[in-house]
């Protein structure tokens, strides 16, 4: 339970930093956004990260399966 909570906190921190960097690239200061708008952006980024990690996991699984089947 504690490990899951720590993982979720790290993902949130990573997503938050990603959003800040993306906003800075666009010349925007995240501090000027309303808290709710910034939180919505972070939530969306977390969903993107989850989706991407599922795709990577599936790709790795397929790669392992192909290696087992082909013997390479």
Q: Give the separation between CA 48 and CA 66, rounded to whole angstroms.
A: 27
Which parts of the chain register pLDDT below 50?
none
Task: Give the C-alpha distances (Å, rounded to integers) separating 28 from 15, 33, 48.
Answer: 17, 9, 21
The domain total for the chain is 1
| Domain boundaries, position 22 | 2-70
Give the per-residue pLDDT at 72.
62
- Say how many Å lie between the first and final Cα of the chain, rounded: 38
Give the per-residue pLDDT at 59.
81
- Reduce the DSSP state of residue 44 to 3 states and report it: helix
Q: Give the separation between CA 58 and CA 35, rounded to whole angstroms.
A: 35
């Amino acid at each position: 339970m504690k490990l899951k909570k720590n993982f979720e906190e790290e993902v949130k921190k990573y997503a938050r930093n990603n959003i800040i960097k993306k906003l800075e690239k666009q010349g925007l200061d995240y501090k000027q956004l309303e808290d709710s708008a910034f939180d919505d952006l972070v939530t969306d980024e977390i969903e993107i990260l989850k989706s991407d990690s599922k795709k990577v996991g599936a790709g790795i699984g397929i790669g392992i399966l192909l290696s087992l089947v082909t013997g390479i």
